[in-house]
Amino acid sequence: MRPIDIRSPDGETLRRELLPGRTLVGRLHDCDLVLAQKQVSRRHAAITLRDDGAVIVEDLGSQNGTYVNGRRIAAPTEVGPEDSIQIGDFTLRVGAERLQPDLPWQESGDLRLPQVALVDGAQVSAGGVNQEVITDNPILGRLRALGALGGGPPAAGEAELAPGDDPLALFLRISDLLATAPSLQHFLDQVLGLLMALTRSEAGAIVLEDPEGQVTPMAACTSGRREGTEVPLSRSIVRAAIEARGVVATHDATHDARFGARESVNLQNLRSVLCAPLFTEAGAAGAVYLTRPPGGYTETEQETVAAIAHLSAMQIERARLRERTQQQEQLRRALSRFHAPEVVERVIAQQAAQGEVRSHLEEAVATVLFADMVGFTALAEALPPERLGALLNDFYRTLTKVVFDLGGTVDKYIGDCVMALFGVPISRPDDTLRAVDAAVRMRRRFEALCETRYPDLPLALRIGINTGSVVAGTVGSELRLEYTALGDAVNVAQRLEAAADPGQILVGPETYEAVKDYFDVRPMGAMKVRGRRGSVEAYAVQDAPDRPLPTHPGT
């Protein structure tokens, strides 16, 4: 092995060991040496330590090139201690001395192998790592005996924890946090701060695992000061703890047989690391990760952190369930204003399947309807605010009821216009017929509304309908989530509505083909639609169907 010094763009120099063979350098996480910078290609270069001690640098076709002593290399180049390697804004230098591992060794024929110890059935480095299955934790057993985790009184002859090591007071604090934390984030911050103080760690993080198995730091602290996720974190150690379902504790991670070759360990110069998984009956929730200078964590510290992690995992699961329930209820209230009940439940089910409230889009064929109140803009300047508001509410209420009666979705209200969808998120064979039937009913009911409540106002309805491919679904965030549709079919429907005369219903060619046998539809010729190169054939729907429609709700 040879030392290699890595000078980062901010001037900090870190040392790691260059192992015999080929070391892949790049931006991807699966590289042996990860240099996280845009100027570094995904797989940028390779550094090879040959058996004769020579070090060869090779560029792998990177975009910005690999430089030795300021000159871009085009072929494999040997480097020595006096040479500098530039990759992006990083400068690398390979040391002259050979490094010998400081692990204890045992002879085995012609090979020199590290001694290993078998702990709980897992083979790990005797000089570096301890591993403990979390369910065998004696503190958890003690807590169960005291009733904190269920169970009866202490068993006869059970060993007592020494007063100086007894962490039960800590669990009272954890229990208090379980009951009083206003949010999951507050709970994680408080637990991490407690563990940092308890173990005298220099840095720590609590990472949570998403449904895809990716871990994300949710709470982080370094040197007693919170700094988001700026914590030296080895995902390989986190993954090892989660997969083993047990505590991983290393006295010196850089010399651990399993982690020493990982870039995240060496580049960050990780030494003593303690990682305890967060497990519930539902599976892995994440991990607690702590690090400090060499020397290792005591057995009591390991057991205590593991027990606190177990208690924390239960709270995390409860908090997640509570947040999902609250989010679903907020989503249900928001969507119920615009969607039929069956549509609302479909969207809620999709979000529940995803495990969180987030955007969800899918391609589909839908019929899009735009209905606009002609004359409203001019009236807005003349009518008193109270009457103007009453008119707008009556308009929305009348048209929305028609859409819901026919199983459609009110996408949005746009001033004095209503946008509705048929065919998403629930598709039916007669969606296009429903949309045109809805348009005819809208026109008839709006005319009746104007005759009875607003006979003195010059109002009319114009509607545009088009059928085609859309991308539809929920968009936004947990604070504001909406169901909408996007695509050319939406644009054409809106342009048809703008081109329609007062009282007219215009439909596109795909809609016409689906309804021509049921409605009196007359061709209006080609129309130029803004945003499209070609024209669109438009058809005007006269009135009620010429023949009975297939049975659907509301007919």
Element (H, E) at 66: strand 66-68
Distance between CA 317 and CA 280 in Å, rounded?
7
Confidence check: pLDDT of 203 > 70: yes
Note the pLDDT of residue 475. Answer: 76
Distance between CA 19 and CA 48 in Å, rounded?
8
Contact of 538 with 528, CB cutoff 8 Å: no
Confidence check: pLDDT of 235 > 70: yes
Confidence check: pLDDT of 228 > 50: no
Note the pLDDT of residue 133. Answer: 43
Task: Using CB atoms within 10 Å of the CB of residue 461, give its burial: 0 to 12 exposed, 13 to 18 middle, 19+ buried.
Answer: buried
Q: Greater confidence, 120 or 1? A: 1
Residue in the structure block whose two tokens are 């027990």: 307
Note the pLDDT of residue 17. Answer: 75
Structure tokens at 352: 């529940």
- Residues 391-425 have pLDDT tens digits of 999 999 999 999 988 988 888 888 899 999 999 87
Confidence check: pLDDT of 145 > 60: no
Note the pLDDT of residue 345. Answer: 72
Note the pLDDT of residue 131. Answer: 42
Reduce the secondary structure of 383-404 to three states and give it as a string: CCHHHHHHHHHHHHHHHHHHHH
Structural domain spans, the chain: 2-94, 132-147+170-255+270-337, 356-543
User: 132-147+170-255+270-337 has which fold?
Assistant: Beta-Lactamase (3.30.450)
Q: Greater confidence, 478 or 187? A: 187
Q: Greater confidence, 472 or 44? A: 44
pLDDT category, 171, cuts 50, 70, 90?
Answer: low
pLDDT category, 188, cuts 50, 70, 90?
Answer: confident
Please give the backbone phi and psi of residue 72, each rounded to the nearest 5 degrees, phi first: -70, 130
Q: Greater confidence, 381 or 110? A: 381
pLDDT category, 517, cuts 50, 70, 90?
Answer: confident
Lowest mean pLDDT among 36-40, 474-478, 498-502, 526-530: 474-478
CATH annotation of 356-543: 3.30.70.1230
Distance between CA 346 and CA 353 in Å, rounded?
11
Report strand pairing: 66-68 vs 85-87.
antiparallel
Query: Which distant-in-sequence residues (6+ apart) come within 8 Å of 40 by Cβ?
Result: 25, 26, 27, 62, 64, 87, 88, 90
Note the pLDDT of residue 194. Answer: 80
- Residues 30-52 have pLDDT tens digits of 677 878 788 899 899 999 998 88
Structure tokens at 457: 């106002």
Mean per-residue pLDDT, 317-340:
69
E strand intervals along 170-262: 203-209, 215-222, 246-250
- Residues 499-515 have pLDDT tens digits of 999 999 999 999 999 99
Top-confidence range, 94-108, 218-232, 276-290, 327-341: 276-290
Confidence check: pLDDT of 248 > 60: yes
CATH annotation of 2-94: 2.60.200.20
Q: State whether residue 377 is helix, strand or coil.
A: helix
Q: Greater confidence, 126 or 537? A: 537
Domains 2-94 and 356-543 share a fold: no
Confidence check: pLDDT of 190 > 50: yes
Mean per-residue pLDDT, 192-199:
81
| Arithmetic mean of pLDDT over the chain | 75
Confidence check: pLDDT of 372 > 50: yes
Note the pLDDT of residue 242. Answer: 84
Mean per-residue pLDDT, 451-468:
94
- Cα R_g (the chain), whole angstroms: 34
- Residues 428-457 have pLDDT tens digits of 899 999 999 999 999 999 999 999 999 999
Note the pLDDT of residue 176. Answer: 65
Top-confidence range, 14-23, 140-149, 250-259: 14-23
Q: Greater confidence, 138 or 280? A: 280
- Residues 50-81 have pLDDT tens digits of 888 899 999 999 999 999 999 999 999 999 98
